Amino acid sequence: MTDHTPAPVETESRTNALWGGRFASGPAEVMERINPSIDFDRRLWREDILGSKAHAEMLVAQGIISAEDGAAIAQGLDDIWGEIESGQFKFSRALEDIHMNVESRLRELINEPAGRLHTGRSRNDQVALDMKLWTRGAIDDLEVELKALQAALIGQAEQHTDTVMPGFTHLQVAQPVTFGHHLLAYTEMFGRDRSRLADARKRLNESPLGAAALAGTPYPIDRHRTASALGFDRPAANSLDAVSDRDFALELAAAAGICATHLSRLAEELVLWTTQQFRFVRLSDAFSTGSSIMPQKRNADAAELVRGKAGRVLGAFTALAVVMKGLPLAYGKDMQEDKEPLFDAVDTLGLCIAATAGMIADMQANPAAMRQAVEAGFPTATDLADWLVREAGVPFRDAHHVSGSLVKQAETRGCGLADLPLDVMKAAHPALDERIYAVVSVEASVNARTSFGGTAPVRVREQVAAARQRFLDGDGS
Amino acid sequence: MTDHTPAPVETESRTNALWGGRFASGPAEVMERINPSIDFDRRLWREDILGSKAHAEMLVAQGIISAEDGAAIAQGLDDIWGEIESGQFKFSRALEDIHMNVESRLRELINEPAGRLHTGRSRNDQVALDMKLWTRGAIDDLEVELKALQAALIGQAEQHTDTVMPGFTHLQVAQPVTFGHHLLAYTEMFGRDRSRLADARKRLNESPLGAAALAGTPYPIDRHRTASALGFDRPAANSLDAVSDRDFALELAAAAGICATHLSRLAEELVLWTTQQFRFVRLSDAFSTGSSIMPQKRNADAAELVRGKAGRVLGAFTALAVVMKGLPLAYGKDMQEDKEPLFDAVDTLGLCIAATAGMIADMQANPAAMRQAVEAGFPTATDLADWLVREAGVPFRDAHHVSGSLVKQAETRGCGLADLPLDVMKAAHPALDERIYAVVSVEASVNARTSFGGTAPVRVREQVAAARQRFLDGDGS
Amino acid sequence: MTDHTPAPVETESRTNALWGGRFASGPAEVMERINPSIDFDRRLWREDILGSKAHAEMLVAQGIISAEDGAAIAQGLDDIWGEIESGQFKFSRALEDIHMNVESRLRELINEPAGRLHTGRSRNDQVALDMKLWTRGAIDDLEVELKALQAALIGQAEQHTDTVMPGFTHLQVAQPVTFGHHLLAYTEMFGRDRSRLADARKRLNESPLGAAALAGTPYPIDRHRTASALGFDRPAANSLDAVSDRDFALELAAAAGICATHLSRLAEELVLWTTQQFRFVRLSDAFSTGSSIMPQKRNADAAELVRGKAGRVLGAFTALAVVMKGLPLAYGKDMQEDKEPLFDAVDTLGLCIAATAGMIADMQANPAAMRQAVEAGFPTATDLADWLVREAGVPFRDAHHVSGSLVKQAETRGCGLADLPLDVMKAAHPALDERIYAVVSVEASVNARTSFGGTAPVRVREQVAAARQRFLDGDGS
Amino acid sequence: MTDHTPAPVETESRTNALWGGRFASGPAEVMERINPSIDFDRRLWREDILGSKAHAEMLVAQGIISAEDGAAIAQGLDDIWGEIESGQFKFSRALEDIHMNVESRLRELINEPAGRLHTGRSRNDQVALDMKLWTRGAIDDLEVELKALQAALIGQAEQHTDTVMPGFTHLQVAQPVTFGHHLLAYTEMFGRDRSRLADARKRLNESPLGAAALAGTPYPIDRHRTASALGFDRPAANSLDAVSDRDFALELAAAAGICATHLSRLAEELVLWTTQQFRFVRLSDAFSTGSSIMPQKRNADAAELVRGKAGRVLGAFTALAVVMKGLPLAYGKDMQEDKEPLFDAVDTLGLCIAATAGMIADMQANPAAMRQAVEAGFPTATDLADWLVREAGVPFRDAHHVSGSLVKQAETRGCGLADLPLDVMKAAHPALDERIYAVVSVEASVNARTSFGGTAPVRVREQVAAARQRFLDGDGS
């Protein structure tokens, strides 16, 4: 993610407002607290300067401002970039937002030509531009992070294509699966998350610059030129739409929220798997925490935080949607509220992805514990039923009844299905014979599930290779 | 949208549970109320039958069941389709869900072969399949409805490429725009909504069928064949993922929520525009309502409902996200809660789109009222400032001050900018001369904004043509 | 909960609108789908009739209508009550809502006097009244259900005041607690939920009746009389507020959402406790379900549904809040959207409470499994540290280090703390002696925690008694 | 609100973890970013120190620590208070949270006795305590701010008890109301908001201190003493509940969200009222903003921000609810996510209340514009109908038809109801005579609505007095 700019914001009482002398008195104190956005939108400084440079360059090319003015503006903006990067820039709350902070400093640095930079644009298209550029960058960063998470998952999956664990439904032991297979399920989910991000990126990639306040501008600007210079596919086709909508922010927040629910599910599993009761994996010391009061504790704090932080990402979507609900066109100040939720959603998601990737990469699986758990759960009862269907032509529903009755007997005897004597088997259904003991073993069950996408090690090895190719070597989509 | 099935659900006490004899006693009364899904999932009957037919056909092709059994199953399923369509089918709560209702009836109709249909699948992949098919169909329906809405907007825009109205920011008169331009802004938004739906459709279009309970199946099924038969691009690559995730439902709910905020904004404008204060448009009688107590009222009820219904669509996303948060793999019963919110979000959105399309198509614009409003708001103050920049080389910020002072004078005099005497103009800035009166006219302002995407009629006419081509003739993306 | 009215709604094309002849043409087809509320607000029939009866009785008392008219109205309303209750009443979508359905039928039954019933009121105060009455009744029902749930919890707690289980933090074994103590934690939560409902009830209990459309009425009505007749504490003090706000619905939805998160937590625990890995409790057959494909399964479906349904309750709050956001006064049609989310939230919560009460009342604890789990987790490491503080004056942070090192040794040896030889103990800290073996036993640990609200059986028995008195014998607050 | 602590947090690599030597390696870098809470929980420093002082004082009183140790602890904590207040305190991320930052500094200042402070408590009850104290303080602050807002509303209402404006339903002119009456509607809403806060405060006012990690403590602590010292009504009755639940945070977030929707409605009205189209009020310069590009603009930015910020408050509730959904007892690290959303919701709400109070106090009503708007809207059509009911015994529904037909005629003629000739009146209904012209005047309409809570000036004056007494002189409930 783009970092927060560390330089502090100066609080000064507003001496000259941006909109000049029609107002007899200055803003109320509470206005000075509620109105400025510089505390959070200074994070957009890079985007703001890049946008201004592209705009100035176009103004020169179109003959709207002189080459000299253009050069002065470019140099001034570069200087400001340097000042902000080095922490020397003084952000001022009186100047409200990042746009006016930069422009005001530009005026100090280069005087009159600074006033010409704003020709043919407005803060409305400027802020839309900055937000789109930032959102695009955030998507690119998240893409990289998700890929790293997929790499961690695929790495572990590769080591555990043959490690048998209980597959759960309703958190009850259902059928044996391989640990690699289980981890690859998440690789698929994060693959769709990447694809959602990529789609959102494509959709937002139209430049609002030049929409001006809302209606376009009488200056002979070239919106295609600035669009291209800033990496957009094209300029937005309608100036009112360009300054009025924030669906790109909503879409990213929604995609982030969906990804966060995926992460929360993996986090829940990590919490479960590291309990005394499951012991399926052990997180590295680097991702475990202790207790200030209970010396024996080894907590999966990071997993819990990832699980919990789904809340704030989803809350950001709610917040943004409520902001936009019922707003008439074009720009309304409500839309200033688009920034903090989106920034927080992106920061939070990035952190959660990184933490999850770290946990996954470092974790140690415990195949013995997985094996013990799978043996205890009658997970091959379905295999027994399936065998009756296949070998004896019994309709599945009937075979299910037979198998269920044998599970009940095994439960009563406190043994596994494979431990039931053959006469008990035969009493349940006469077609059952010695061959069934091979079927109800955990290995047999896993190895048999060779349908496409199934859990058989042979399939999982193929899936690992395919996932590596699609997600790590390819473009992730 | 696919209709609700009207046939009522029979309430009978459960006599034989699906899972046979391992349970000593039947379900509690409250269990019978909380557990069954047939009251809402019977809506999936078409999808369920289509999925079963494709599955059975594949089982025959693979030699897993006999051609005779396959034919019996297909015939039985067709009969059931007829029974449901004609309202004769008796849905039973004791049979829990649509899958068991259909299967149980199939057994009644064709006896033993019915039991073989379930070979190599489970209710887990079956319900995932049904939901994906339904979601895909819902997307297709919404696409058509959004296109009709765009057609209504483009139709009105075409009639009003030259109709001048106030463009608002902060709901204050900002600059003159054309009504056609304003309406096309929404066409863009709904275009992106369509594109979001199309992306969601592509992403979900992988078949879960054959993932079985969670681990795949030992039967030699052909998942590519069923995927293809049901219009999927491919089978899902991981069986655990295929039965565990509902991100496709979340994605549609999110896209619906974003679209609903767009609709809520247009609805807000319709409510405003039809007030006594604005009178910009008049809804047709067909979309207006009166009051049971106040005889003079003419309310835009439908617009208010569209605005309000954004709530339930967004609420559906919240509901679904909360359901999925923190769920371990694979299938959990929580996921039965995916249906009602998604169904409601889709129904609600479809209704809102249709109502909006109807209101837009029928509405009568009131150019005189728009004109009066735009004249009253000093909307060309920016043009005056721009002129000073262009013609007299005044930096924009200074020109803004000059223009602001003239607005203040006009406000005091109770006149428009164009009504100020020339000496007053000149006193504000010496460069102002007679030519300025042409600039500060509303027509001049609008006609001048010829930048790409701008509000000048010449541009709007181009936008209308382009929108028609992209959204109505093309594929909408 | 008040039941849904089973009688179907008749769909007929609208022939005479309620608001008479100012409209040249009838409503559009989509208007007829989006506008009427009778499909869901007929559920308010009892409230509507009760309100009308109280209103009519007051009109007579104030001399606004004649006693004869009042008697006819009362009789007609009673007849309608009977018709609806017996399912004979024909609800009509053309008549839009429950108010007009009832009034229209009244006119059929008693002719002219029916027209006088609406004197001094409007649909705006009428629907506010109906919703408040319904909400009040829903709160009363939920109160009773929560009390039953508390009774189930207290009943189980009483049986398990001495049953030791692991207390978890971060789902890691932390310290031994008693099962009774654990269950009583939820009794406290549901106690606060009841208290929240009681507060909401008090706050809403002001009558909107007589606020009329929004401004009050010129008729000499007596709002105190109708308020009192309908069980309100007083009439609402401002007629605009009375018809404009729905904070009572939002408040109930929020309280329901908070209660639903409590239920989701207990549900999560039930899901965990019934796994093969925990086996702390066994749900009764009445609350367990099997699998259609896996014969060995025994799923806690109801617990999962309760956990998941928190989503729709929280979604209802989101929905309602979005509806109300940014609505100008007074009544807007958006507010018709208050009903379905609130109805669904209340129904869902009621069902979840009942299902949870049933599961809790029926469940069988497994003290042996709990005991085994607690022994395995070094839960008395804190006790060892505490002993060092108490008996040897070691600062806690140092004692924590000593205890942690002993846990590490026990982990390595694969034994419990109590199994470490004394010389190992002494090597960790010289003050450790034979007495420590009494301290690190699970019973000693539990018995020692006698602080108020602590887990010692002596305390838990007191808590059971106190909970019984506060929540079951008292008024729950 | 309690201020943010300005002192920066030091970032140092963690050298000695709090939980000692059982961990072979230190935390991962991403762990150091995701795990610490000191960046936001240092805001709880006052609460943390106050809680520790009360705890230490009790430990002395109970003879658990010596008086000397107690005195040293108290002195050390006072010194730390001073250091933090003056900005000298160095917060360290390596020390994770406010609790360890304070404790660690205490150890530096007073050495060994610092270690005894943690006797009989844990970070789990400590953080629950801090959060409850903070929440209580936040409620008290919000109460004061809401009261100031009510004072501003009542002040304006008092000046406008007789100022007539259009009362709207569906944003269509409905009936005349007085501006004072309209403003008092919000006073009622904010009164209920205060009452909700007061209830939440009462409910949360049980002390978690002494619940320790989750199970209570073997030390002979006196929880009633610390509860009383910290202003709680009593200690929480169940130690597991005390450290596990955050319903008090959810309840405040929900109450804040409801209040924020109220504020958003008033803000919407301010935005509408200050448009060129309405001109009902003029905000002071102190609460108006201009445009950097459009010199004529006068925007109600603060109102728009208040309207928009409802989003983040509601988002906070969503976030918190998602965090808590499905968490097993007792403390989980997820719950660290309770702080930022709650802090932000409270800060945001406080700011919105203050901004609204400022706007309301300063605004200038424009009675002439209100009057013009009300005359234009046929708002007395109901009065005409009512007169027919009263004077001529016409059933209301019929009178409504008569009045509607007259409105239609007036619309056609472009005049008001009062301008229709008598013969036109009589043609509509023979009972209409000269007296009707007095009835259909706006003043007559307003003056007639004398029902309790109605808009007649005589009633509004009573309401002003009553509101002043209930909300400003009384305790607000």
In whole angstroms, give the CA distance from residue D101 to residue D114: 12
Two structure tokens written together for D324: 């808590």
Residues forming a β-bridge with A169: A172
Average pLDDT value for residue range D266-287: 95
* 3 state DSSP class of C174: strand
Contact D268 C239 (CB under 8 A): no
**Interface list for A 256-295 with C (CB within 8 A):** 271-272, 274-278, 290-295
Contact D36, D93 (CB under 8 A): yes
pLDDT of residue C241: 98
D contact chains, 3+ CB pairs < 8 A? A, B, C
pLDDT the model gives residue C379:
87
Q: Is B16 helix (H, G, I), strand (E, B) or coil?
A: coil
**Which chains are within 8 Å of A by 3+ CB pairs?**
B, C, D
Enumerate the residues of chain D whose CB falls inside 8 A of the CB of residue C258: 247, 250-251, 254, 321
Tokens of C78: 């009673």
Beta carbon pairs, A and C, within 8 Å: 127
Q: How does residue C6 score in pLDDT terms, banded at 50, 70 and 90?
A: very low
**Touching check for C167 and chain D: CB below 8 Å?**
yes
**3-state SS, residue A259:** helix
Q: What is the CA radius of gyration of chain B?
A: 30
Q: How far is Cα D103 from Cα A293, in angstroms, rounded to an integer?
A: 14
With 70 as the cut, is the pLDDT of residue A48 above it?
Answer: yes
Which of C328, C401, C452 lies closest to D235 in CB terms? C452
**Radius of gyration (C-alpha) of chain C in whole angstroms:** 30
For CA atoms B428, B432, B437, B440, the dihedral sign is negative
- CB-CB under 8 Å, D373 with B277: yes
Task: From the candidates D291, D401, D445, D451, give the one annotated as an active-site residue.
Answer: D291
| DSSP per-residue codes, B117-156 | TTTT--HHHHHHHHHHHHHHHHHHHHHHHHHHHHHHHHHH
pLDDT (mean) for C269-285: 96
Q: Residue B361: CB partners within 8 Å, gap ≥ 6?
A: B152, B155, B156
Of C35, C315, C317, the CB nearest to B341: C315
> Which candidate in C325, C403, C439 is best for mutational testing of the D interface (most D CBs within 10 A)?
C325
Structure tokens at B268: 């807000």
Residue C417 has what DSSP assignment? G
CA A362 to chain centre: 21
Question: Which residue of the set C170, C228, C239, C429 is catalytic?
Answer: C170
What is the number of other CB atoms lying within 10 angstroms of the CB of residue B158? 17
Chain D residues inside the 8 Å CB shell of C327: 265, 268
Distance from C-alpha of A455 to C-alpha of B216, rounded to nearest angstrom? 6
- How does DSSP classify residue B102? H
Largest pairwise CA distance in chain A:
100
Chains interfacing with B (3 or more CB pairs < 8 Å): A, C, D
Q: Is C202 touching A (CB cutoff 8 A)?
A: no
CA dihedral (C394, C395, C398, C403) positive or negative: positive
> Is B379's Cβ below 8 Å from some Cβ in D?
yes
Residue written as token pair 């993922």:
B241
**Residue among B217, B218, B325 minimizing CB distance to A310:** B325
The answer to whether C224 is a known catalytic residue is no
Q: What is the pLDDT of residues A396-429, one digit of tens each?
A: 778 888 998 998 898 888 888 888 999 999 999 9
Collapse the DSSP code of D216 into the 3-class scheme (helix H, G, I; strand E, B; otherwise coil) and give the result. coil
What CA–CA distance (Å, rounded) separates A202 from A255? Answer: 14
**C175:A294 CB<8 A:** yes
Rounded distance, CA C418 to CA C420, Å? 6
Cα(D149)–Cα(D360) distance, integer angstroms: 8
Rounded to an integer, what distance in angstroms lies between the CA atom of residue B386 and that of residue A120?
9
Spacing of C-alpha C45 from chain mean position: 23
Q: Cα torsion at B146, B150, B152, B154 (round to 10°)?
A: 180
Is there a contact between A314 and B327 if contact means CB atoms under 8 Å apart?
A: no
Q: Confidence class of residue D12 from pLDDT cuts 50, 70 and 90?
A: very low
Q: DSSP secondary-structure letter at D93? A: G
- Phi, psi (deg, nearest 5) at residue A475: -100, 10
Q: What residue has token string 């301010």?
A: D270
The beta strand positions in A9-132, using DSSP E, are 9-10, 91-92
Write phi, then psi, for B403 (nearest 5 degrees): -60, -40
How confident is the model over A110-145, as pLDDT tens digits?
A: 998 998 898 899 999 999 999 999 999 999 999 999
Where are the strands (E) in D15-107, listed by range? 91-92
Instruction: Tell me which residue of B122, B141, B145, B121 sits closest to B133, measured CA to CA.
Output: B141
Q: Determine if residue A414 is left, alpha or beta; phi over 0 gives left, psi from -120 to 50 gives alpha, anything else beta.
A: left
Residue C390's pLDDT is 84
Q: With the C-alpha atoms ordered B220, B225, B231, B234, is the resulting torsion angle positive or negative? A: positive
Out of A25, A86, A170, A292, pick the active-site residue.
Answer: A170
Q: What is the distance of C-alpha C360 from the center of its chain?
A: 17
Q: Which amino acid is at B131?
A: M
Q: Tell me the CA end-to-end span of chain A in Å, nearest whole number.
A: 21
Give catalytic status of residue A52 as yes or no.
Answer: no
Burial class (CB in 10 A: 0-12, 13-18, 19+), B360: buried
In D18-151, where do the E strands start and end?
91-92
Burial per residue of D154-166, b for 16 or more beta-carbon CB atoms within 10 angstroms, e otherwise:
bebbbebbbbbbb
Separation between Cα atoms, residue D313 and residue D255, nearest integer Å: 10
Contact C334 B298 (CB under 8 A): no
Whether the CA torsion D383, D386, D391, D394 is positive or negative: it is positive
Return d(Cα B434, Cα A468) in angstroms, integer: 72
**Residue B2 contacts residue B48 (beta carbons within 8 Å):** no
pLDDT 10s digits, A219-243: 999 999 999 999 999 999 999 999 9
Provide the residue count of chain D: 477
Give yes or no for A298 touching C (CB within 8 A). yes
Which regions of C153-308 does DSSP assign to beta strands (E)? Answer: 164-169, 172-178, 206-207, 234-235, 281-282
Residue A15: Cβ-neighbour burial (10 angstroms; 0-12, 13-18, 19+): exposed
**Interchain pair A277, C373: CB under 8 A:** yes
Query: In the structure, how many helices (H) and strands (E) does chain B have?
Result: 19, 8
Rounded to whole angstroms, the Cα distance separating D49 from D102 reads: 8
pLDDT the model gives residue C179: 98
Minimum distance, in Å, between the CA of residue C248 and any CA atom of chain D = 10
SS3 category, A192: helix
Q: Please indicate whether, in this complex, the C-beta atoms of A22 and D290 are within 8 angstroms of each other.
A: yes
Q: CA C436, CA C218: separation in Å to the nearest integer? A: 84
Q: State how far the Cα of A452 lies from the Cα of A456, in Å rounded to an integer.
A: 9
Rounded to an integer, what distance in angstroms lies between the CA atom of residue A208 and that of residue A133?
Answer: 10
Choosing from D86, D170, D292, D451, the catalytic residue is D170
Is the pLDDT reported for residue C297 higher than 70? yes
Residue A178 DSSP class: E
Radius of gyration, alpha carbons of chain A: 30
Residue A212: list chain D partners with CB under 8 A: 293
Chain C stretch 56-75, residues whose beta carbon is closer than 8 A to a beta carbon of chain D: none
Could you give the CA distance from residue D374 to residue D355 in angstroms, rounded to a whole number?
A: 29
Q: Do B309 and C337 touch (CB under 8 A)?
A: yes
Least confident of A459-473, C371-385, D5-19, D259-273: D5-19
Residue carrying structure tokens 């054309």: B178
Query: Mutate which of C451, C455, C458, C468 to disrupt the D interface (most D C-beta within 10 Å)?
Result: C451
Rg (CA), chain D: 30
Percent of chain D with pLDDT over 90: 79
Ordered DSSP codes for B405-461: HHHHHHHHHT--GGGS-HHHHHHH-TT--TTHHHHTSHHHHHHH--STT-SSHHHHH
| C177 contacts D418 by C-beta, under 8 angstroms | no
**Residue B91 DSSP SS3:** strand
CA distance A16 to chain D (A): 12
**Closest Cα in chain A, distance from residue D325 (Å):** 9
User: Does residue D150 register a pLDDT over 90?
Assistant: yes
Would you call B334 an interface residue with chain C, using a CB distance cutoff of 8 Å? yes
Cα–Cα distance measured from residue D159 to residue A97, given in angstroms and rounded to the nearest whole number: 38
* pLDDT tens, residue order, chain B (477 aa): 344 444 555 544 343 445 555 566 677 889 889 999 999 999 999 999 999 999 999 999 999 999 999 999 999 999 999 999 999 999 999 999 999 999 999 999 999 899 889 889 999 999 999 999 999 999 999 999 999 999 999 999 999 999 999 999 999 999 999 999 999 999 999 999 999 999 999 999 999 999 999 999 999 999 999 999 999 999 999 999 999 999 999 999 999 999 999 999 999 999 999 999 999 999 998 898 887 667 777 899 999 999 999 999 999 999 999 999 999 999 999 999 999 999 999 999 999 999 999 999 999 999 999 999 998 878 898 889 889 988 998 877 788 889 989 988 998 888 888 889 999 999 999 999 999 998 898 999 999 999 999 999 999 999 999 999 999 997 655
Are the C-beta atoms of A209 and A129 separated by less than 8 Å?
yes
Q: Which of B312, D123, D384, B384 is nearest to C317 (CA)?
A: B312
Catalytic position from the list A291, A403, A405, A441: A291
In D14-33, the residues whose Cβ lies within 8 Å of chain C are: 19-22
- Chain D hits for A314, CB-CB cut-off 8 Å, are 318-319, 322
What pLDDT score was predicted for residue C62?
97
C-beta atoms of B320 and C340 within 8 A: no
Task: Give the Cα separation of A267 and A309 in Å (integer).
Answer: 11
CB C215 to CB D170 under 8 A?
A: no
Residue A344: strand, helix, or coil: helix
